[in-house]
Structure 1
């Protein structure tokens, strides 16, 4: 399990901007609830400690039992524990209030404002009961007056900002994880020098939480679509926050947003309120009723949820975060074209529900991939299919291979935009795309014994006739992905003269 933040020396670095490595297919986007942190603003994290720093420690409540505590922090922890390396996080929240307090400095002392509003860095109840202590030290031979600020928040390590110059108070405290100081009014009137030191103690109050709305989730879906890095998307709290038609509409909005990008996969969870296999199958049916194969090929569902370690005992979380970690791990070990299945899940102790064999078969037939507990191996991902009934869009390995190729081709073809439409440009484009496909063929991602059997790239007069708009260039690409082996059939032949013979059918 990843370690909690501990006292001592720590190193931090500025986060990289969006689109740092758009070719990676192991980067995930998590949309859900958190204890604290910016709302609706994408934050890039490269470790569990980064998550705790930006969004606080995971809650003590059990989302599997009370349906209130956020599940997304535990899903993110499962992602990193299972091999995930990078994620983008968007906190989703309803119209919550921010905790705050008033600080009146009084006359004299050289303060930048007579009053300040001390405001929590983000909305929510997390800051209620937090204490902010400000200590003023008058000027001495060593220099001008300074302020020292100590911030303590329940359940979080304290922050201390010593020796802050008075004019830089608000700017320097912008680095705090917990609070902001906002000047309120003009500087205080001049007065007598007063004591050498003074101190103030304030309590933050008034913060409230609000459950995320459909609009909040849809805004987060739109925000993640603007990021070039994520190739995987999860919404671990969606099934708890929204139900029925509202939940289904957000999922459809997600798929309609993701589908035109051709570069990412959404991993969904069966809503936790649906406890029986019949309910899960019916829920999947509402999503697949449209029959839109390309749209359904953008999503995979994994079930059941997992029991994971917690400070107060095991708790139930959706499986999506752990599964994304497994996908990221296999991506680094084998490549995006390998099926993310038959792999061990780490940082989980049990399944949230035991499903008999017939129920597992029904879920599989409905397009729901399974998480299973196997003898000798523990918890494993068992299944690599999307929700699409079309064989061309059914396998996750095929979809993720397409996502990888789309990303590679965008990077290859992007610099050629605005070049003159000429035979030289067409040849350059064909060579660049062929190089990408050859790499996939050599890695075993494509079918066929020779490259010409595995893919074809056409960019000539057949699809760019002389009368075509000269500002448009068409390049057609066809490729045959290698089919994953899902079933192995063995025949047993028993004969009096031959004994028992096993034949692979």
Structure 2
């Protein structure tokens, strides 16, 4: 990645390692609109600078960049970003290089790295220097995009030019003509000044978001999901259907929570309550236990102005921060939201009660403490799936159980295998107990692991092993029951009973 720190100084740094850590429960996935960057391809970022480097600075058009900034400003450390777009076009311009020996072709297309209008107006200054006593012919390239740092590639040998430009944030070089003739004398210097044009943006339809939902479900690391632009891009039943599709993709995984925003066009309490009602009308507590709605939106600084942004990014940052400070089993309720200065809407107490009763988690401004998360519930009315803290405890346990049990999938079902599995799971649960996630004064009061003849009778398929786990969360409620199934002809399966 090339960027300019001082005039005339070009710095190149290698991309940070991207090894995933599936046991973490503070990693978020953001699906939405961004200025630039790969479409539909998940990108792992570890800071706001990473976001700007890959997707560009926020330009006031889309909500997702501001949600990402709120995530990192509130303590988030890692996110996966999936840019969603309609059928946009990519800006480009021809470069008639001519018969320069060492180049792959006599002409090229200079193509933006990703679709969108962001690249319209990108300027290239290309300077050719023939062979000298100091070395072979070279090309210098300077790429300039308004509002972003320029890139400088000085003294590049001609055969290496296309490869060297693959680290550019902005452009790629594509051969578009015949190869040059054999070496011949030519000008000592040449120069070209080019401008990219033809890039267009397009709003994503339901299918683009559905593809992004599928991609996030295949990522093992995210434990939190947000779609900040969804309420702007999709409306009415299409929006509700996509949210339910997201929840249907999340629910079988038992390892992540979707944090939703009320669509911005729904400005009244009645509209917000009706929208939530359309989701809860499914009556599926397992599905609804995968989602929480935070409202109202926030007002955040944006240069000299204030901007209204959906709350999901800031809330995910709060959850991630508390995860690191206290653990996944702690509720986000009563936590302070940072880097936001006001609410986009103030509701009198009777309307707050209506929103709360409908299943929304409120954000409130309290005297002396500022903006605070004022709720930690999912959309489910079932006590077993209602509370975010309990759901995230399950997410943590499922991830840890997968790590402990997955290596044993292909072992032969035997007393030795059962003992090995029980030991591995007991170690995971003891760690949760010692961290304060489970109730009881002693481990036997906090959890039970059952993997014997009672759930593996002799007549059972010998290629299948069943293990049942019961845990008692630190906050009083019924035992959470997980059923673990290992099969020699299929993957590890975790079922929440």
With normalisation by structure 1, the TM-score equals 0.91
Q: Distance in 1 between matches of 2:261 and 2:248?
A: 18
Q: How does 1:28-67 map to 2 (within 5 A)?
A: 28-59=28-59, 61=60
1:473 is matched with which residue: 455, 465, 469? 465
Aligned pair 1:375/2:367, yes or no? yes
Q: Distance in 1 between matches of 2:119 and 2:476?
A: 50
Cα 1:363/1:186, change in 2 over 3 Å: same
> Aligned partners of 1:430, 1:71: CA distance in 2, in Å?
46
Q: Of 415, 426, 432, which residue of structure 1 is paired with 2:418?
A: 426
400-409 vs 157-166, which moves further: 157-166
Q: What's the C-alpha RMSD, in Å, of the aligned pairs?
A: 1.7
Q: Tell me, what secondary structure is at the counterpart of 1:164?
A: strand
Q: How far did residue 71 of structure 1 move? A: 0.6
| Pairwise CA distance, 1:217 | 0.6
Q: Which residue of the other structure, out of 318, 332, 335, is the alignment partner of 1:326? A: 318
> How much has 1:152 moved relative to structure 2?
0.6
Match of 1:195 among 166, 183, 187: 187
CA distance in 2, matches of 1:185, 1:223: 37
Task: Tell me by how many angstroms 1:15 deviates.
Answer: 3.8
More off after superposition, 302-311 vs 185-194: 185-194
Partner of 1:439: 431
Aligned position for 2:481: none
Deviation at 1:224, TM superposition (A): 0.9
Q: Check 1:146–1:10 CA distance in 2 against 1; reply closer, same or farther (3 A cut).
A: closer
C-alpha distance in 1 between matches for 2:462 and 2:156: 62
SS in 1 for 2:466: coil
Between the aligned partners of 1:191 and 1:441, the Cα distance in structure 2 is 74
Q: 2:448 aligns with which of 456, 463, 474?
A: 456
The residue aligned with 2:15 is 14
CA distance in structure 2 between the partners assigned to 1:325 and 1:484 by the alignment: 26
Flag the 1:406–1:385 CA change in 2: closer, same or farther, 3 A: same
Q: 2:294 aligns with which of 279, 289, 302?
A: 302
The corresponding residue for 1:340 is: 332
2:271 pairs with 1:279: yes
Please give the secondary structure, in 2, of the residue aligned with 1:167: helix
1:135-174 aligned at under 5 Å gives the runs 135-174=127-166
Residues 335 and 10 of structure 1: CA distance in aligned 2, closer, same or farther (over 3 Å): farther
Counterparts of 2:476 and 2:202, CA distance in 1? 44
State whether structure 2 residue 199 is matched by structure 1 residue 207: yes
1:250 aligns with 2:251: no
Q: What does residue 484 of structure 2 align with?
A: none
Quick check: 90-99 or 182-191, which moved more? 182-191
Name the counterpart of 1:385: 377
Work out whether 1:103 is the aligned partner of 2:104: no
Cα 1:484–1:97 shift into 2, 3 Å:
farther
- In the alignment, what sits opposite 1:395? 387
**C-alpha separation between the residues in 2 aligned to 1:303 and 1:11?**
42
Give the Cα separation in 2 of the matches to 1:484 and 1:386: 17
Map of 2:167 onto structure 1: 175
Deviations 1:179-223 (A, max 9, x none): 000011221335852221100111100000000111111111111
Q: 1-side partners of 2:465 and 2:12: how far apart? A: 49
1:74 aligns with one of 66, 76, 87: 66
Aligned residues of 1:99 and 1:128 also touching (Cα < 8 A): yes
Separation (CA, whole Å) in 2 of partners of 1:416 and 1:201: 61
How many residues align? The count is: 473
2:490 matched residue in structure 1: none
| Runs (5+) with no aligned partner, structure 2 | 478-497
1:106 positional shift: 1.8
Q: Could you tell me how far apart the structure 2 residues matched to 1:237 and 1:418 are?
A: 43
d(CA) in 2 for partners of 1:484, 1:248: 33
Q: CA deviation at 1:307?
A: 0.5
**Counterpart Cα distance in 2 of 1:169 and 1:9:** 16
- Look up the SS of the partner of 1:133 in the other structure: strand
Q: In 2, distance between residues paired with 1:460 and 1:326?
A: 41
Residue 309 of structure 1 contacts residue 315 of structure 1 at CA under 8 Å; is this kept in 2?
yes
CA distance in 2, matches of 1:461, 1:47: 50
Q: For residue 450 of structure 1, report the CA deviation from its aligned partner.
A: 2.8
Whether the 8 Å CA contact 1:412–1:433 is kept in 2: the answer is: yes
Checking the alignment, whether the CA contact within 8 Å between 1:109 and 1:138 is kept in structure 2 is no
Instruction: Describe the superposition over 1:318-340 as per-residue Cα deviations: whole angstroms up to 9, x where unpaired.
Output: 00000000000000110000101
Cα distance in 1 for partners of 2:15, 2:126 equals 28
Paired residue for 2:342?
350
Distance (whole Å) between structure 2 residues aligned to residue 175 and residue 10 of structure 1:
12
Q: 1:65 aligns to what?
A: none
Alpha-carbon contact 1:108-1:190 (below 8 Å) kept: no
Q: Distance in 2 between matches of 1:345 and 1:188?
A: 60
Contact 2:91/2:119 (8 A) holds in 1: yes
Q: Find 2:284's aligned residue among 277, 292, 303.
A: 292
Match of 2:77 among 82, 85, 88: 85
Unmatched tracts of structure 1, length 5 or more: 62-68, 486-505
Q: Which residue of 2 aligns with 1:489?
A: none
Structure 1 runs (4+) deviating above 4 angstroms are 4-11
Distance 1:376 1:6 in 2: 41
Deviation per CA, 1:290-330: give whole Å up to 9, x if none.
Answer: 10000000000000000011124110000000000000000
Q: Distance in 1 between matches of 2:340 and 2:243?
A: 26
Q: 2:115 is matched with which residue: 123, 129, 133? A: 123
